Amino acid sequence: MKEQWRLLQTGFNNAFFNMAVDEAVLINCSRGKVPPTVRFYGWNPPAISIGYFQSLEDEIDLDFCEKIGVDYVRRITGGGAVFHDTELTYSIVVPESHHSVSKNIMDSYGRICGAVIRGFGFLGIKSSYAPINDIVVDGRKISGSAQTRKMRTVLQHGTVLMDVDVDRMFSLLMVPSEKIRDKLISDVKQRVTSIKKVLGKEIVFDEVAIAMKKGFEEEFDVELVEGNLTDNEIVMAKKIEKDRFLSKDWNHRS
Amino acid sequence: MEGKSIYKVPNGKLLKIFLDYNKKTGFINEISITGDFFAYPEEAIEVLENELKGVLLDRDMLINKINSVIQKHGIQFIGLDAEGLTHGILMCKK
């Protein structure tokens, strides 16, 4: 019988709760309270997340975000700024001791991205891993990931771009100078793609989730069993949301 | 004296450094190391920023200090290294 992991489909939530849930699952898994977990989720309202080491004011046009109702949050993982709009976000939480994840961080990026690549395969998209943390189709980025390790447990989360609006994305991000904004936008348009662009049609969130579920099951040779957050995870997530992700100290520190 | 640098680490990520230093003596007062790199454990970056206070803006001094902090705290960088960090810091000097 295959090993069983938990699958969480938490739907669409705001950025602060989304990030808090990933952390709550990480903590609970590290304490052995919940099994290894794969989670699929979306963002409502759309939001920008920045990497742990980035400077909020340096990366994001905060006034414009507030004006058009885009939230922003600092992640507990490193990496770059991401505009989360029409995408499926995955997260995976596994103890470091599990045979599925390498002690070597780079190797484990590759392995987890392998699950997402298989997922794209089920949608009829041929993609490949572009180290450090991207997945590309014909050289264009379709997914980016970030990993942290705490309490001997791995958390990796990442985007699966269903559609992308580069103009909107760049209206929210700071650019070194206005002069090069147009050039940057056209460069990024060349370097980023999405499921919609590749397939020439829209694929709904649930369909992407089904494909990604199969991808993770196949890559890790496990059965993903749909479950729910435990009461403890929900309580903890709400506390982390308030204490960390909604706090100005956390989001604005440089 | 304040300085800022933006440096794409070769084969790595985009490093952005904010530096406050004494122009006369060349010692670091404050430093903020930001960017889209990865470091494990993440909190070690704050340790590194603290340890760099009072260090002379000199290539050898910086690289030795950075390497010793990396070793002492078992820091693992992805998309960044001591060499790149040193280069980024020195670029802040006017």
**Rounded to 10 degrees, what is the CA torsion of A67, A157, A55, B33?**
-170
pLDDT of residue B79: 96
| Percent of chain A surpassing pLDDT 70 | 100
Domain boundaries, chain A: 3-252
Distance from CA of B7 to the nearest CA of A (A): 13
Count of pairs with CB atoms under 8 A, one residue in A, one in B: 56
Name the CA radius of gyration of chain B, rounded: 12
Q: Which domain holds residue B29?
A: 2-91
The predicted-structure confidence for A231-252, as pLDDT tens digits, reads as follows 999 999 999 999 999 999 999 9
Is residue B12 within 8 Å of B79, Cβ to Cβ? yes
- Paired tokens of A214: 């199969």
Helix, strand, coil share (%) of chain B residues, nearest 5? 35, 35, 30
Name the CA radius of gyration of chain A, rounded: 17
Question: Residue A90: pLDDT above 90?
Answer: yes
Q: What is the mean pLDDT of residues A132-157?
A: 97
Is residue B26 within 8 Å of B56, Cβ to Cβ? yes
Closest CA to A106 of B79, B70, B33: B79
pLDDT of residue A184: 83
The predicted-structure confidence for A9-20, as pLDDT tens digits, reads as follows 999 999 999 999
Of A47-51, A105-109, A189-193, A238-242, the poorest mean pLDDT is in A189-193
**Rounded to 10 degrees, what is the CA torsion of A129, A132, A133, A137?**
-30
Number of domains chain B contains:
1
Q: What is the pTM of this model?
A: 0.96
Please answer yes or no on whether B36 and A81 come within 8 Å at the CB atom. Answer: yes
pLDDT of residue B63: 98
pLDDT of residue A179: 75
Q: What is the mean pLDDT of residues B38-59?
A: 97
pLDDT of residue A254: 63
Closest CA to A139 of A152, A150, A129: A129
Q: How confident is the model at residue A181 (pLDDT cuts 50, 70, 90)?
A: confident
Q: What is the CATH number of the domain that holds B63?
A: 3.30.390.50
When the candidates are 2.40.50.140, 3.90.10.10, 3.30.460.10, 3.30.930.10, the CATH number that belongs to A3-252 is: 3.30.930.10
Residues of chain A with C-beta less than 8 angstroms from the C-beta of B36: 51, 53-54, 78-81
